[in-house]
Structure 1
Amino acid sequence: MSDKASLSKSPISWHTAFKVYGERATLRMLALGFSAGLPLLLVLGSLSFWLREAGVDRSTIGYLSWVGLAYAFKWVWAPLVDRVPLPGLTRWLGRRRSWLLLSQLGIAAGLAGMAVTDPSVALKPMVWCALAVAFCSATQDIALDAYRIESADVDRQAALAAAYQTGYRLAMIWAGAGVLWIAARAEVANAATYQAGAWQTAYLVMAASMLSGIVTVLVSTEPQPAPRAPARNAAEWLQTALFDPFADFFRRYKMQAVLILALIATYRISDVVMGIMANPFYVDMGYTKDEVAAVTKVFGVVMTLVGTFIGGVLSMRLGVMRVLMLGAVLSAASNLLFAWLGGHGHDVQALVLVVSADNLAGGIASAAFIAYLSSLTSISYTATQYALFSSVMLLLPKWLAGFSGVAVDHYGYASFFTGTALLGVPVLLLITLAGRLAPAPSAALPESASKSIAS
């Protein structure tokens, strides 16, 4: 939703803005956000720490980050998640929750598969299991984004996005700091530096952690689906499932669609490209698993919660575009702190400063960005359109991130982090241009969906 649209009606009171965080739909989104955020680092960031300890070189680690491209191509099967019922499950749970449950079970199985492999002995089985986790995680995202958007009216999307991001970030702390802490505790004293068994224990715990999302899906309510006329034949089904969602977006936004897609494609580029090398950086700088886990868990959690909460409230109060700009500036600037840390040397207090600033910036940016993406979707095509947006968001950054190890090998960490900060500069121009154009508001949610926020 644009700032102009936000200013066209009376501002929401501070009391109302804060009260929404205690509603049931918001609390459900907190738990489901945790389920969505758990797999990401386990196939990217935390996995890179494991791989680096196992002796895998930085260039290979960078290329293996292309596993994350599964998230960038989820629009390909999003129409199936949006339209195709699952035998037995859909009748029992409904369209959104059935796909959520199936994907969550797949994630848990994939993580268990990763846990019983050792990349120092055979890397290929690890890669296949990681691909399975990424595919199931992307599928969960498709269903969950639709579930979130259909569960509340437009005014509450920023709050749901903030709750989702809070759960998502908490899961990333658990999958980042938590997995390091567990692996450190599982190590045998006076043994070799790399111990595969410690990492295997940690990943089994992560697989079990998916129970939080599974239980939430089972006890949640299914949002009222948008009414759809049944397709008369296969050609009509393909038309409504594959072509219409994309045509609807371009029909509503016309030439503005190109600008919107450019902004979506580059908004998180600084964070994504930098993030792949963060854990190898910690290893090469001599930080222990306990040090990284303690700093990320204590200061990262606090600052992430603060940033996400601020981003959600400010988006409701001031408008999404203003907070998008703030988040873009802070995200790029926080990468410069990593460049400074690279020259500063091993210093836990400096690591606290850098991690805290990075998590604060990421929380603010993510809450506003998700609210922005949600405002662009039509209620008739929530799953497919949101999958398109989030896929566009990841495609270019994930592709560039694959070369991050090569860049570090050639130029060093300080130059690499500085370069990732500069990648965020064009984003500021795109936000400025997008803010001056008022996109058409997304289609209104049905009355039953708006009422379900309080259920």
Structure 2
Amino acid sequence: GFSSGLPLALTAGTLQAWLTVEGLSLKAIGFATLVGQAYVFKFLWSPAMDRYAVPFWGRWLGRRRGWLLLAQLLLAAMLGLMAFVGVPGPDQAAAWPGLVHAAERLGVDAASARAVPLLLLAVGVAFFSASQDIVIDAYRTDVLPAAERSAGAAVLVLGYRLAMIVSGGLALWLATDVTGWRGIYALMAGLMLVLTLVTLWAPRPPLHAKPPRTLREAVVEPWQEFFSRKGAWALLLAIVFYKLGDAFAGALSTTFLIRGVGFSPADVGLMNKSMGLVATIVGALLGGALQARLGLWRALLLFGVLQGASNLAYWVLAISPQSLALMGLAIGVENFTGGMGTAAFVALLSALC
């Protein structure tokens, strides 16, 4: 869970804060949120990762851990390149000047054009992070018996949210007061390398079923099996829309807190680290416990309503005088309900496997 959550903020909230501090326009920062589209379309290449094993170390580590190690190594490389490239100032040489000049010829303003190489690398981070998520979900399903998947989902969400606080809240504070923006991305690249040791140490999952022998078995037959189920279309719509409100509300939340409300990146990071951490732990654990009592479907409904309503806290923050306590409350409510909702959502996805 920690390895899965670490890259997300680095292509979302932390990246937004970096671009905001560098003076990019709100329009440009809004477009920058599109770098994470790989998370939406990861189903397109997930069958290939299920069908094929990684050459070289795939036979030693197995299909799941082989892909996981490759994704983590490439993530570390991409994050390191982001630290190297950065966002150069007007009087500094760009790492890839050809890309910057091409963006300017397309009508992109100078400040945004200088960030184009960084954003392209962020697209790569999102792609390999989404690929890592594919393998982690498959590995978790393989290694956990059905009776333990709800508890496993709660633990995964806990690790996921802890990682987002490290690469989000803690990273904002460190980037502002200690390391600078390039330094924090270099630090996260090193942390991702450390996480490869967990992959090497993790047990090889038992082979419950033979891997697909053809792409038809990996791609066509799973879709046929899914849509043969009763209520498949309703279930698919629920999967698509369950986290949509959270996604829209959180897309520019860091920019909103820094530029819209006027908090410093250090304040935003500190509040995310403290209030967000506590709320996430409580929300994930309580969500797992309530889900066991309520059942999956009632838990999904209740937690979905709560996480949707939690976005109203940011509206209250926008119309109120600037207050660290109020920001902490808004972040706490969002993290608490988000942890509950994500725990139930992950359990739903696991139940479909």
| 1:257-280 alpha-carbon deviations (Å, 9 max, x no partner) | 110011111001111011111111
Q: How does 1:265-344 map to 2 (within 5 A)?
A: 265-284=240-259, 285-344=261-320
| 1:22-46 alpha-carbon deviations (Å, 9 max, x no partner) | xxxxxxxxxxx00000111101111
Residue 58 of structure 1: CA displacement? 1.1
The CA distance in 2 between the partners of 1:229 and 1:81, in whole Å, is 10
| 1:359-402 alpha-carbon deviations (Å, 9 max, x no partner) | 1100100001110111112xxxxxxxxxxxxxxxxxxxxxxxxx
1:103 aligned to which of 66, 71, 84: 71
Q: How does 1:102-181 map to 2 (within 5 A)?
A: 102-119=70-87, 121=89, 122-181=114-173
Residue 230 of structure 1: CA displacement? 7.2
Identify the residue that residue 185 of structure 2 maps to in structure 1. 203
Q: How does 1:434-445 map to 2 (within 5 A)?
A: none
Overall identity of the aligned pairs, in %: 39
Identify the residue that residue 445 of structure 1 maps to in structure 2. none
Unaligned runs of at least 5 residues, structure 1: 1-32, 188-197, 232-236, 378-455
Secondary structure of the corresponding residue to residue 73 of structure 1:
helix
The CA distance in 1 between the partners of 2:27 and 2:166, in whole Å, is 26
The CA distance in 2 between the partners of 1:338 and 1:70, in whole Å, is 27
| 1:93-136 alpha-carbon deviations (Å, 9 max, x no partner) | 11100000000011111111111123354212101110111111
Residue 212 of structure 1: CA displacement? 4.3
| 1:173-209 alpha-carbon deviations (Å, 9 max, x no partner) | 011111111112236xxxxxxxxxx100111111112
1:346 aligned to which of 306, 322, 326: 322
The CA distance in 1 between the partners of 2:277 and 2:221, in whole Å, is 41
1:93 aligned to which of 43, 61, 65: 61
Is the contact between residue 47 and residue 215 of structure 2 (CA under 8 Å) also seen in structure 1? no
> Quick one: structure 1 residues 153 and 97, their matched pair in 2 at CA, closer, same or farther if it must change by over 3 Å?
same
Residue 226 of structure 1: CA displacement? 3.0
Identify the residue that residue 244 of structure 1 maps to in structure 2. 221
Letter in 2 for 1:157: R
Is the contact between residue 258 and residue 268 of structure 2 (CA under 8 Å) also seen in structure 1? no
Secondary structure of the corresponding residue to residue 210 of structure 1:
helix
The CA distance in 2 between the partners of 1:230 and 1:105, in whole Å, is 26
Letter in 1 for 2:195: G
Larger RCO (CA within 8 A; separation ≥ 6): 1
> Quick one: structure 1 residues 182 and 321, their matched pair in 2 at CA, closer, same or farther if it must change by over 3 Å?
same
> Quick one: structure 1 residues 104 and 230, their matched pair in 2 at CA, closer, same or farther if it must change by over 3 Å?
closer
Unaligned runs of at least 5 residues, structure 2: 90-113
Is the contact between residue 48 and residue 215 of structure 2 (CA under 8 Å) also seen in structure 1? no
Residue 238 of structure 1: CA displacement? 2.4
CA RMSD of aligned residues (A): 1.4
Q: How does 1:182-221 map to 2 (within 5 A)?
A: 182-186=174-178, 198-221=180-203
Identify the residue that residue 44 of structure 1 maps to in structure 2. 12
| 1:286-345 alpha-carbon deviations (Å, 9 max, x no partner) | 211221122111111011000000111111222111211121111111111100100113
Which piece of structure 1 moves more, 219-228 or 152-161?
A: 219-228
